[in-house]
Structure 1
Amino acid sequence: MLLGPPAAGKGTQAELIQNRFSIPTTSTGAILRKQAKERTPLGLEAEQIISKGGLAPDNLVMQVVDAWLETYPASFLFDGFPRTIEQAKAFDQILQQREAPLDLAIALAVSVDTIRTRMALRLVCSNCGKVVSMGRHVQSSHDPCPNCGGPLEKRSDDNSEALERRLEAYWEKTVPVYKYYGNRLVEVEAGRDVEAVFADIAELIVE
């Protein structure tokens, strides 16, 4: 799993890991945003919280995770999950039931200044949900999504007010998860260029 603050590069690294190692990858946030777009009860409930920079309730997140694992029971990578101690404990119980212990948890470390810069350049496809960065994946917000050709837009929670709430939630709720995982978690400096960060992650995976 990949953990870290907003705009740490979790989605980018998850995509690289999936392409290199053929590991099924998902983001609970992306799934919930898709549900919100489809106006499902689950999505509408999550949207009210996520758009304001809050974390989706643990019970909603675990519903998403449990359903996804029915499709990919053996090998998987979660981007941005778990985000709370309660989710981490519930996930350990699920893995224990499936006799599939957690192999590795990676925490991406990045400065707040870098987070703000990256967030200003971040866009999401309104069709497929792919997150892209101006300057790396596309040149402007008017370009089509490189994945499906759909229109790109700013995420509803990519604003300064929501960012402050998300960072506060990260420090309060997610950082304690690092202590919970103990020696199962490895921290990687993610303020560097994408390729350098991925090289370190790939080395950890093949160990």
Structure 2
Amino acid sequence: MDLVLFGPPGAGKGTQAQFLVESYKIPQISTGDMLRAAVKAGTPLGVKAQEIMAQGGLVSDDIVLGIVAERIVQDDCCAGFVLDGFPRTIPQADALDLILKQAGRAIDHVISLEVDTEEIVKRLSGRRSCPSCGKGYHITFDAPKEEGVCDICGSSLVQRADDQEDTVRNRLLVYEQQTAPLKEYYRSKHVLCSIPGMGAIAEIQQRIINALVS
């Protein structure tokens, strides 16, 4: 089963991706993972990507797509994969379709986790962490015993810059701008599964299973 997984920051995408990996015995692959693997393996595209990244440049679509093509023919992808973080644009989606077609494959389902914006803001902006021991907290769901103080080592808790509310809202806006056209693209191909991402983890997992078998 060849899957694409969409989800805004804080939607629980990592948790659900791991569930898909364990349930269907297929690997989760992301552009970051693929680039690092290609660089480590020293493939021609990996070498080229490493040269570009070493100079501070952005790896082009052509290189990323080439690495995707290399990755999906590896043995662990025989039964399928969960593609995370790619494609991000319509041209990338078109190119991915062509790569898969040449391999005799196609995207079976695109899972889009849908979570209310205010819920995501609450989830992300409430996160805190200890800079000394690394323990994580949430001011609503997993608060420390003493506000702003780590239970483990007593250090003052901090909020990551990208978890600040204004930053979170901007990240969500960018995500929506990027993925809205892709949702329509995959909806037109009748492979989009919009999954409500609110509620208990097990409930969301059941919704995903129901969508994949329907």
Equivalent residue for 2:197? 190
Aligned match for 2:183, one of 152, 175, 178: 178
Equivalent residue for 2:53? 42
Cα distance 1:101–1:202, how it changes in 2: closer, same or farther (>3 A)? same
**SS in structure 2 opposite 1:108?**
strand
Instruction: Calculate the TM-score normalised by the size of structure 2.
Output: 0.65
Report whether the alignment pairs 1:65 with 2:68.
Answer: yes
**SS in structure 1 opposite 2:173?**
helix
Report whether the alignment pairs 1:2 with 2:9.
Answer: no
Find the aligned partners of 2:13 and 2:89 in 1 and give their Cα distance: 17
Cα distance 1:34–1:192, how it changes in 2: closer, same or farther (>3 A)? farther
Aligned match for 2:93, one of 88, 91, 105: 88
Deviation (angstroms), 1:206: 3.5
Deviation (angstroms), 1:15: 0.3
Equivalent residue for 2:174? 169
Aligned residues, how many? 176
Report whether the alignment pairs 1:22 with 2:29.
Answer: no
Contact residue 11 and residue 79 of structure 1 kept, 8 A: no
Deviation (angstroms), 1:5: 1.8
Deviation (angstroms), 1:197: 0.4
Task: Give RMSD over aligned pairs.
Answer: 3.8
Find the aligned partners of 1:204 and 1:70 in 2 and give their Cα distance: 26
Taking CA–CA contacts closer than 8 Å with sequence separation of 6 or more, which of the two structures ends up with the larger relative contact order?
A: 1
**SS in structure 2 opposite 1:181?**
helix
Instruction: Calculate the TM-score normalised by the size of structure 1.
Output: 0.67
**Percent identical across equivalent pairs?**
33
Equivalent residue for 2:131? none
Aligned match for 1:105, one of 96, 107, 110: 110
Structure exhibiting the larger radius of gyration computed from Cα positions: 2
Report whether the alignment pairs 1:77 with 2:88.
Answer: no
Gapped regions of structure 1 (runs ≥ 5): 47-55, 124-132, 144-152
Equivalent residue for 1:127? none
Equivalent residue for 1:12? 15
